[in-house]
Amino acid sequence: MVQPSTASHPGDAPGGASANSDWRLRAPFAILLVALLWAAQLVNAASVITATAQAQIAQYFHTTQIAWYSLIYVLCGTLLLPFVVKLGDMFGKKRIMIVVIVIGLIGDVISALAPTYAVLLIGRAISACYVPVAPLVFATARDIFPARRVGTATGIIGATLGAIIAVGPLIAGFLLDNVGFRGAIWFVSACTAVALLLVIVLVPETPRRAAGGFDWLGGVLLGASIIALMYGVSQGSVWGWLDARVLALAGGAVVILLGFVLVERRVAHPLLDLPMLSRREVATVLSAGSIVQGTAFVAAAIMTVVIPLYPRIPGVSDGLGWSAMQGALVGLPAGVVLFVVGMAAGASTRRFDPRVPWLLGVVITMAGLVAAGFYHHNAVQIIATGMLTALGAGMVYACNPILILSAVTPREQALASGMSLMLLGVVITFVTQVLFTVLGSHSTVVKGTALYLDAGYRNGYFVLAGCVLIGLVVSLLIPKLRRPADIEAGTAAAG
């Protein structure tokens, strides 16, 4: 297991100086919270805004491989997660956040200027460097806020995803309709720059919780396993799910993962804390959270974009043919519900078992997806089913980080959040590929662009609901957890 470092480091708190010697720790709660939630939601804002541009990008570059626009982002971000989280524990989370945000900003600029689809994908891969910022933010919140505010801060950071989902498509719609998809990507670049400034100016440095040393062999094995698995999944719809190459990649991923486990049990400074991951509360919380959140994300990022923005051509395409702004306005009520419910659900967990709103949210999310499978043919239906799904998703997004807080110690926070996002990336990749396979089975290719029929949309929603059902089954296995009021804060927290 990784042990906290007892050495003092200049600029660290608590190291040689008192934690309260950093003026940032004495800043008002709201100011620190804004800085953290902006950085944490950076990846979600980038995902929501750029996802809205997918339809325009596919038609601009005449590609049938638009799925890779999201997949390469998720793949690279997932691969980086354990390394970045470990480095944050070794060198301080603020320092590492600054580095990865700067690299991500470079990727945003490359994407905005990309002359070809291949260059755009390269930019997206580089932008994925700021995906690991979120687990570092949640761990930082636990370090710098007092115990009585940790649950509230974490719930608010998670719940603000609703605001992103509500406002993001409106901004993207305006930009897409007036200056095209490049304008949307430039806006994401500006948001990244603001996140960088806020982290530099407002966020204090955190204690270094890991001893020196880096498990390079374990990192290589884990990375190779993730790449083999996710690439195999991504090619399943192309080669066939029972193709020998897909099965070989899946089998190879399992073998490499077993090698990683053997290495982690023997090295002095392991990359992952395997005893922590083997605990029932941690295993069930991370698994259920990744399955349900990943599925809800795919539904929002793909179905609510493809159906409104793809053209309506009888017998060829059953999209609604709306403008980006019209699609955003129709989706606005769901975004508002997601935000309001998320804030309320986060607050409710302060006194109650966080599993209760979580389970309720999972059930409602599943019901909303089933309803959307039947009713997605006009604005009224999309608003109604979207609000129902958002009612559940708001509870899910707000409660998941609180469940993680309740299941781990301060030392384990960054690692657990990182593992949650890593599993989330695997789920998003798998569900995305399955969804595009279902959509593709009822599609027509016109000028290099795949256009989908209503049967594909209907079955796609039913598949998403089935994935949430799996998450519900896992959720029922989560044992009783600590209430947020009883959560231990980090050693850098001010009273």
Please tell me the predicted confidence (pLDDT) of residue 99. Answer: 93
pLDDT tens per residue across span 115-150: 999 999 999 999 988 888 888 887 788 777 776 677
Q: What is the mean pLDDT of residues 20-44?
A: 69
Q: What is the mean pLDDT of residues 450-473?
A: 94
Looking up tokens 């992952």 gives 272
How far, in whole angstroms, is CA 116 from its chain's centroid? 27
State the Cα–Cα distance between residues 149 and 167, nearest whole angstrom: 27
| Percent of the chain at pLDDT exceeding 70 | 86
pLDDT tens per residue across span 41-95: 777 777 777 777 877 888 788 877 777 787 788 778 877 877 888 888 888 888 8
Please tell me the predicted confidence (pLDDT) of residue 320. Answer: 92
Cross-strand pairs, 450: 445
Query: Which residues, 6+ apart, have CB-to-CB distance to 480 below 8 Å?
Result: 353, 355
The crossing angle, in degrees rounded to 10, of helices 454-475 and 413-440 is 150
Reduce the DSSP state of residue 245 to 3 states and report it. helix
Please tell me the predicted confidence (pLDDT) of residue 295. Answer: 94
Query: Which residues, 6+ apart, have CB-to-CB distance to 263 below 8 Å?
Result: 215, 217, 218, 221
Q: pLDDT class for 7, splitting at 50, 70, 90?
A: very low
Q: pLDDT class for 456, splitting at 50, 70, 90?
A: very high
Reduce the DSSP state of residue 286 to 3 states and report it. helix
* DSSP code, position 302: I
pLDDT of residue 345 exceeding 90, the answer is: no
pLDDT: is 460 or 84 the higher one?
A: 460
DSSP secondary structure of 206-236: ----S-S---HHHHHHHHHHHHHHHHHHHHH
State the Cα–Cα distance between residues 409 and 143, nearest whole angstrom: 11
Q: What is the mean pLDDT of residues 306-324?
A: 87
pLDDT of residue 294 exceeding 50, the answer is: yes
Please tell me the predicted confidence (pLDDT) of residue 226. Answer: 79
How far, in whole angstroms, is CA 494 from its chain's centroid? 29
Q: Burial code of 405-418, b = ≥16 C-beta within 10 A, e = fewer?
A: bbbbebbbbbbbbb
Q: What is the mean pLDDT of residues 211-239?
A: 77
State the Cα–Cα distance between residues 277 and 138, nearest whole angstrom: 18
* Mean pLDDT lowest among 28-37, 79-88, 442-451, 486-495: 486-495
CATH code of the domain occupying 23-214+271-482? 1.20.1250.20
Pairing of strands 312-313, 317-318: antiparallel
Please tell me the predicted confidence (pLDDT) of residue 19. Answer: 40
Please give the backbone phi and psi of residue 443, each rounded to the nearest 5 degrees, phi first. Answer: -145, 165
- Per the prediction, the chain carries an average pLDDT of 81
State the Cα–Cα distance between residues 270 and 117, nearest whole angstrom: 38
pLDDT: is 132 or 18 the higher one?
A: 132
pLDDT of residue 248 exceeding 80, the answer is: yes
Please tell me the predicted confidence (pLDDT) of residue 120. Answer: 92
State the Cα–Cα distance between residues 176 and 52, nearest whole angstrom: 9
State the Cα–Cα distance between residues 84 and 133, nearest whole angstrom: 8
* Mean pLDDT lowest among 10-14, 28-32, 124-128: 10-14
Q: What is the mean pLDDT of residues 435-461?
A: 86
Reduce the DSSP state of residue 316 to 3 states and report it. coil
Is the N-terminal amide bond of 14 cis, ω within 30° of 0? yes
pLDDT of residue 107 exceeding 50, the answer is: yes
State the Cα–Cα distance between residues 29 and 50, nearest whole angstrom: 31
| Percent of the chain at pLDDT exceeding 90 | 26
pLDDT of residue 14 exceeding 50, the answer is: no
Q: Closest Cα partner for 83 from 99, 68, 72, 67?
A: 99
Half-sphere exposure of residue 443: CA atoms within 13 angstroms, side-chain side: 22
pLDDT of residue 166 exceeding 90, the answer is: no
Please give the backbone phi and psi of residue 429, each rounded to the nearest 5 degrees, phi first. Answer: -60, -50
Please tell me the predicted confidence (pLDDT) of residue 258. Answer: 92
* Mean pLDDT lowest among 327-336, 371-380, 444-453: 444-453
Highest mean pLDDT among 147-151, 227-231, 278-282: 278-282
pTM strictly above 0.85: no
